[in-house]
A = this chain, B = another copy of it.
Amino acid sequence: MDAEAIKRSLEGSGLRCTPQRYAVMAVLMEQTRHPTAAEIFKAVNRADPRCSRATTYNNLRDLVQAGLVREVAAEGRAARFDATGIRHHHFICDRCGKVEDVEWYDVPQPRSGSLGKRVLRECELIFRGLCAKCAPRRLPVGRNGGLRPP
């Protein structure tokens, strides 16, 4: 995505396009994987050493609130983020913890009643296993994770 588009999407959400905010957004969009907040800070701070940690975290919070960025559910202690506009599922590597995108497809709704009084907004799939990089070294001793055969 080009600079203008980032600028427009920020301002469309009522956020000023400051250099720091822009940098956070740009780092997130050029990544295919989902960096942690700390990684984003390092990348932004490397590009402009005057950008502080608090600003990165504040901007991340603001971007999530504005809906331009999502926090990704994953194990591990560091929050991971995701700015891609396209819907996708996630694949988490058992071995290295990386979070990758998996092409989107629709998922059947839960049996009516099993959600009770809850209000459903969205749902996504989390796949687990070994990523392309970790897979060749050793095959897992896994059980079938409830997958329906094709």
Contact = CB atoms under 8 A, between A and B. Distances in A.
Interface of A: 71-79, 87, 89, 91-92, 94, 100, 102-112, 114-132, 135-136, 139-140, 142-150
B117 A132 contact: yes
B109 A121 contact: no
B146 A87 contact: yes
A148 B111 contact: no
Which DSSP category, helix, strand, loop or mixed, fits chain A's interface?
loop
A85 to B, nearest CB: 14
A92 B78 CA distance: 18
A147 B114 contact: no
Contact of A108 (B105, B118, B122, B139): B105
Contact of A110 (B79, B105, B110, B144): B105
Contacts of A143: 121-122
Contacts of A76: 79
A105 B108 CA distance: 9
A51 to B, nearest CB: 22
Contacts of A114: 102-103
B118 A132 contact: yes
Contact of A129 (B77, B103, B118, B132): B118
